[in-house]
Each structure stands twice: as structure tokens, then as C-alpha cells.
Structure 1
Amino acid sequence: MVTRFLPRFLPIVAFDQFTFHSTMSTAANILPSPPKRATPPTIGTHNGTFHCDEVVACFMLKQLPEYENAEIFRSRDDSALRSKCDIIVDVGGVFDHEKKWYDHHQLTFKDTFSTIHPNICDDFNIRLSSAGLIYCFYGERVIQSILQRERNVQLSESNLKLAFSQIYRNFINELDAIDNGVPMFEGGEPRYKISTHLSARIGKLNPSWQDTKTDSDERFHMAMSVAGKEFVENVLEVACSWIAARDHVRLALEQAKSVHESRQILLLNTFCPWKAHLDILEKEYDVEGVAKLIIFNEGNSWRVAGVPVTPSSFLGRKFLPTPWRGLRDEELCQMAGIEDLIFVHHTGFIGGAKTKEAALAMALKSIEFVEE
């Protein structure tokens, strides 16, 4: 019996931020009814050394009501797996969605997130592992189940699609790539990013080659708890924070003209992580490279920051004027001709002010300033 570290489902409470329309992907809608077997249901996977992909796949399945009480049967005996299990992952040499067999090791298997969900994203072209396979077909329901249980919220159709894509991008994609041995670089840009190192940490939970006494199944369930906790945290961060931040950045972009005619200054009335969202939304609005500076609140003061060339770049489209750099307080105010300034970083990528008005004046003068 596996000790569940997550509470059971709670009643749904309506939240203004999360309107819901019951929808699922086409793939999810065509799922056949589970075959009737003895209860509880059984999830099958291979025995021996376990890997992050089937660990995460099994955890995701157990977030669904039909599998939440499922037992895990680990074997490489195909006959035993097919006779005992309601669903099989990462073993068996067959991918058949209707039969609920989800192996990816066969040479004929070529599927990626984008081939299964071409209407959601067309740039996820890494071959799926068992984690990616289960996520593609059940991920939207898994996300909603976790959110219902943990926060009593449900996402709207559009926000569910956003969360589904983003969680694949920053969590599952890495697992697919590592399990399939995909090189990170084929040219200048990385094909994927390693942000969790979860695969390596799960691998270390396997018993040592010299350890003949530790129960491998017990370690597998320990690995499910470790991986599952991180997966749930990622779902909550994306659905309850990342999407909300995107909405704030979208509003700032839409209202840019009211701040300055050139649309080069963005105003965030509520601070949130903005760089990655701005990069994506600029493409959506066809205004790439227009925004140069962004103003946001930070505690009891305000900041003016240069928009980076790329979200991770130290190079900016526009930084604060060179004569201001490295100055503070009264000296900075005199040099800039603006009251209530606090500092400008010595590189010019960010500056501080006591009030929104002072920050706006700093941004306006910076836009107009011409470097010698």
C-alpha cells in the first residue's frame, strides 16, 4: 500500500480568476471505457532498474479517479502484464492508445507532443518517453484533478491549454529528452532545457548494484513520491502563478500606448515575473522589439528595468543613461533632474525610484536620451 501524500478530492469552489468549461483534448475524449477487472485496478510497468519517465507516468495516472487506488505491478512478462493490468506503461513493445499500452522503445515509435497535439504546439519535436505519452493523453485531466484537490479551482479551456503546454515545456520535455538520449544541442540553440535534474535524482534512488537486500518496489514508490511532489508543485506554479503573471503582462502590453505614444514603456501595476511572458506575447501581438523599458512596483518603491534582448540575456534593448549609472539618491536626482530617485545600477540595466511618478519620469527621460 502506497502512502498518499496528497489529500483526497475536495468540493469545487468557483473563483473569478478561473472560469471553467468542461473540455478535454480530442485524444482524451476518444478514450475507451476501462476494461472491467477485479478491483483495485492495476498499472503495469517494468521491474528492475526504474527510470524517471515511468515513475512520473505512474504518478500522473494515480491522480485520476479511475486509477487513484491502483496497484503497481512491475514485470517484464508481457503475458502477465496484459492479463493483470488495466494500463501498461514503458514496457511491452507496443503503443496502442485504445488498448492502453504505452511503450515507446520500439523502432517504429516516432510520436512527439506536436504530432499528437498539432493544434496546441508545433515546436515540441522530441520523441516521447512513457512520461510524455501518458501526459499527452491524460495530462489535461491530471492537471484539473490536481487543481481541484489542492486549490479547489478549475481552469478555463484556454488557460488549461496554456498550462498543458507550459508544463510540458518546463517539466515533461526534459524527461522525454533525457530518457531518449536526445542531444541538447544540434546547432546554436538548445533543443530543450534542463530545469529540474529530476531524472538524475530519481536514478539515484535505485538500489546500489551491491545492495541485494533493499526492496526495489519500495524504492520505486519512494521515487513516485519524490517525483510526484515536484510535479504537483509545478502544476500549481504554472496554473496559479504563471498564468496570472501572463495576464498582467498582457494588460501592460495592451495599455502601452497610454503610457507613451511610442509604446516603448510598459507599466506593471503589480509586479510579477515578466520576461518570458513578454517575449511570447510580443510575437502574438506582432510588436517584437518595440518595448524598451518596463516599470514595476517592488515593495515600497518602484523600478525601471531594461527589456532584455532575450529573456535570459544580459543585453538590453535600452538601458538607463550612462551619466546616471552608479549614482544614488541626491547625486542621482541632481544629475537626472528628477526628484525621488534612489539608484541606477552601474550597468544601467535597472534603476529605482520612491514613487511611480518618479519612475515614469526616469523611463521617459531614458527613452529620449541619446548616448554620445
Structure 2
Amino acid sequence: MSKTTTTDSGAATPPKRSPPLTIGTHNGIFHCDEVVACFMLKQLPEYENAEIFRSRDINALRDKCDIIMDVGGEFDHKKKWYDHHQLTFKDTFSTVCPDFSDDFDIRLSSAGLIYCFYGERVIQSILLRERKMELSQPNLKLAFLQIYRNFINELDAIDNGVPMLEGGEPRYKISTHLSARIAMLNPSWQDTNVDVDARFQLAMATAGKEFVDNVLEVACSWIAARDHVRHALEQAKSVLASGEILLLETFCPWKAHLFDLEKEYGLEGVPKLVIFNDGSSWRVAGVPITPSSFQGRKFLPRPWRGLRDEELSQLAAVKDLIFVHHTGFIGGAKTKEAALAMAKMSMEYADE
């Protein structure tokens, strides 16, 4: 097995033939990993019009194809052979892409292999086509990692038969159920007159749409949300000297980003409350202990919980309050000023 730790696809040997090129994979029952791998390659200019040749005849694949995946018993980036079934194959996202701090220990499938070596170019190609935009290099790295984390990693795990739970902790999460849906597009055992290659094309279109949607969500929404949370974290001390209150001028999903950015800035555990506008009013929310936890670092004062409107405003001595949830994890106000007052007074209350 040829070992490499670069994701620069330019390091591979150039195509052997003039366009249109040919992508090779195995025939018979298809799986989600090579379906997604083929779709990703066809997003690149050199493979956009490529034919897909499906066979297990190694000599035919070698003679006909410019790139081969999920078949052939060999992984060699320079030769453009990307199989993962051989016993010698041990690579993970973390071994092929060692520049990322996240520790992924699940063996790559053909989808993961193609993504590691070509994924950044695939993302940019999709964004240019769909949104006429490109990501900056730092944001491209963030998107590349996030798309692996929430889309490709699941495909790698399922294709390699990795149990989700080991020792009580999940090794990966199911975000798409795409592998099962692609498997159902294979002909059943009773289908005798089915064009399997046509079904493969349908599988590529199905998986491809989901992959493109994921790229667009990460690049156009997830990245933008991260920038908003980063700005709020950088400006936190202008809200409260301790930096424990974050003010999001624009609402966005903030929890997962906040936990990542805290580590980046060396501020783990410091933010306690987040203020944001939900479109109709202002909210003050406690930062949870973990992104999915119902336990918070700081909740709103117990005497306010379950109260609303004038009763709440009178007790807190703050005008324009709307409510505090009976658990105290969130409260509402009509104005930003009222929400700021609610948050600052909450920080002054001693925890029960």
C-alpha cells in the first residue's frame, strides 16, 4: 500500500487519456460509499463528463479507467487507485489529513478516501456552480472538517461495519440514514429485468442532492453562524467585564460553535448567558454544560421562574420583561435593553 499524508490531488499522476475520462468502480450491488465517491468526482471539471465503468475485472479496469475506487485491492494516490477492502488498509481521516486536531479512528471507505484527497476542490466547485462564491482558505478548512464530521464519517462507519456504541460512548452519529436509502435502490432478489447501471445513476442523483445540500448548509449557513458567535465572544467584555454574557445582534444556531470557539480562545466555561433576538422579541438563554445538555452553567433567578409580563417586571424591577421559563433556562423581553438588564441581574444572583 502506498502511504501518503497529503490531500493535494495534484500530486497524483495525470490522466492517461484525453477527456472524456473514465471512473472505475465495482459492478453488482452498489453501496453508498462508491455512489457518493463517484458523485464527488463528477463535480470536478476533469471528471464532469466522465463515464462510469463498473466491473470487477482488474485488467479491464486498469486498461479503461483513469481513476478506480472501491475495487482493485490497492490504495495508491499516485496511481489514483482508492480501495479500502485489503487487510493492509488502516487509514482514517486523521492519518490522511493529520493537520486537523479532531481524532477520527474509523477506517475510511471509498467515499472517505475520495473526500480526503479531493473534497476541498469538490466543495469549492459546488459553491461556484450553486452560489457563484468561494470560501476563504480558513473557512474552507472549517467546512471540509464539518462536512466530514456530519456526512462522510457516517458513510465510512457503516460501510466498514463499525458498531455505533463501544463502552457506552457513540463512535459516530447517524445524521442522514443515506446508506440505507441508497441500498434500497438496488434491485431486489426478485427483479430479473432491471438496468442496474441506471439504478446506480439514480443512486448518484439521490445521494448527490443530499451531499450538495449539506455543502450549501455548511458553507452558507454554518460558517456564517460561526462568524457571528466569534464576534460575540470577542466583544463579550464590552457587555459585562467578566465576559460571561454574550450578545448576538443576529440570531443564529450558537451552541456547538460556542463550545468550539471557547477552546480556541482559551475561554472554556466562561460564557454563562447568551442574549439574542428571535425575530419577535429578545431572549436570554443559559449556556448549557454541553451542547445537548439540559443542565446550564447559569440559569435565570429562581424567584422569577414561571412569571410573566407585569408580575415579572415588577418583581425584577425591569420594564418590558415577557417571561421566564419555569426551569429558568430561558427568559424573554420586549427590548434589547430589558434583556441586557435581565442578564446582568441574573449574573448577580448567587446560584442555589
Query: TM > 0.5 between the two?
Result: yes
Given the alignment of the two structures, is residue 297 of structure 1 paired with residue 255 of structure 2, yes or no? no
Given the alignment of the two structures, is residue 140 of structure 1 paired with residue 87 of structure 2, yes or no? no
Pairing partner for 1:337 from 313, 317, 322 = 317
Does the Cα contact within 8 Å between 1:121 and 1:165 map onto a contact in 2?
Answer: no
Return the alpha-carbon distance in structure 2 between the equivalents of residues 32 and 202 of structure 1: 32
Pairing partner for 1:222 from 196, 199, 202 = 202
In the alignment, residue 81 of structure 2 is paired with which amino acid? W
Paired residues for 1:273-312 under 5 Å? 273-312=253-292
Figure out how many residues of one structure are paired with residues of the other and give that number: 347
What is the CA distance between 1:371 and its match in structure 2?
4.3
Given the alignment of the two structures, is residue 173 of structure 1 paired with residue 149 of structure 2, yes or no? no
Return the alpha-carbon distance in structure 1 between the equivalents of residues 20 and 68 of structure 2: 15
Given the alignment of the two structures, is residue 32 of structure 1 paired with residue 13 of structure 2, yes or no? yes
What's 1:210 paired with? 190
Pairing partner for 1:326 from 283, 292, 306 = 306
1:37-95 CA-to-partner distances (Å, cap 9, x unmatched) read: 5x421111111111100000000000000100011111111111111111111011111
Return the alpha-carbon distance in structure 1 between the equivalents of residues 325 and 210 of structure 2: 36
More divergent stretch after superposition (285-294 vs 26-35):
26-35
SS at match of 1:73: strand
Q: Which runs of 4+ in 1 moved over 3 A?
A: none
More divergent stretch after superposition (28-37 vs 187-196):
28-37
Identical-pair percentage: 79
What's 2:31 paired with? 51
Q: List alignment gaps of at least 5 residues for structure 1.
A: 1-24
Return the alpha-carbon distance in structure 2 between the equivalents of residues 337 and 126 of structure 1: 55
Does the Cα contact within 8 Å between 1:252 and 1:268 map onto a contact in 2?
Answer: yes
What is the CA distance between 1:27 and its match in structure 2?
2.7
What is the CA distance between 1:325 and its match in structure 2?
1.3
1:302-331 CA-to-partner distances (Å, cap 9, x unmatched) read: 000010111111111111111111111111
What is the CA distance between 1:128 and its match in structure 2?
0.2
What is the CA distance between 1:122 and its match in structure 2?
4.2
Given the alignment of the two structures, is residue 162 of structure 1 paired with residue 135 of structure 2, yes or no? no
What is the CA distance between 1:31 and its match in structure 2?
2.4
Return the alpha-carbon distance in structure 1 between the equivalents of residues 302 and 277 of structure 2: 23
Given the alignment of the two structures, is residue 250 of structure 1 paired with residue 219 of structure 2, yes or no? no
Return the alpha-carbon distance in structure 1 between the equivalents of residues 245 and 107 of structure 2: 41
What is the CA distance between 1:228 and its match in structure 2?
0.3
What's 1:201 paired with? 181
In the alignment, residue 65 of structure 1 is paired with which amino acid? P
What's 1:67 paired with? 47
In the alignment, residue 196 of structure 1 is paired with which amino acid? T
In the alignment, residue 179 of structure 2 is paired with which amino acid? S
What is the CA distance between 1:359 and its match in structure 2?
0.3
More divergent stretch after superposition (319-328 vs 284-293):
319-328
Does the Cα contact within 8 Å between 1:340 and 1:353 map onto a contact in 2?
Answer: yes
Return the alpha-carbon distance in structure 2 between the equivalents of residues 82 and 43 of structure 1: 11
What is the CA distance between 1:370 and its match in structure 2?
2.0
Return the alpha-carbon distance in structure 2 between the equivalents of residues 30 and 112 of structure 1: 19
Given the alignment of the two structures, is residue 234 of structure 1 paired with residue 214 of structure 2, yes or no? yes
Does the Cα contact within 8 Å between 1:53 and 1:131 map onto a contact in 2?
Answer: yes
Return the alpha-carbon distance in structure 2 between the equivalents of residues 59 and 264 of structure 1: 45
Return the alpha-carbon distance in structure 2 between the equivalents of residues 315 and 51 of structure 1: 40
Return the alpha-carbon distance in structure 2 between the equivalents of residues 195 and 329 of structure 1: 40
Pairing partner for 2:171 from 191, 197, 203 = 191
What is the CA distance between 1:352 and its match in structure 2?
0.7
SS at match of 1:66: helix
SS at match of 1:267: strand
What's 1:314 paired with? 294
Does the Cα contact within 8 Å between 1:322 and 1:371 map onto a contact in 2?
Answer: no
Q: List alignment gaps of at least 5 residues for structure 2.
A: 1-5
SS at match of 1:295: strand
Return the alpha-carbon distance in structure 1 between the equivalents of residues 141 and 107 of structure 2: 21
SS at match of 1:55: helix
In the alignment, residue 343 of structure 2 is paired with which amino acid? A
SS at match of 2:8: helix
Aligned CA RMSD, in angstroms, stands at 1.2
What is the CA distance between 1:26 and its match in structure 2?
5.0
Pairing partner for 2:107 from 101, 110, 127 = 127
Return the alpha-carbon distance in structure 1 between the equivalents of residues 174 and 15 of structure 2: 35
Pairing partner for 1:361 from 328, 341, 346 = 341
Does the Cα contact within 8 Å between 2:7 and 2:118 map onto a contact in 1?
Answer: no
Return the alpha-carbon distance in structure 1 between the equivalents of residues 267 and 50 of structure 2: 50
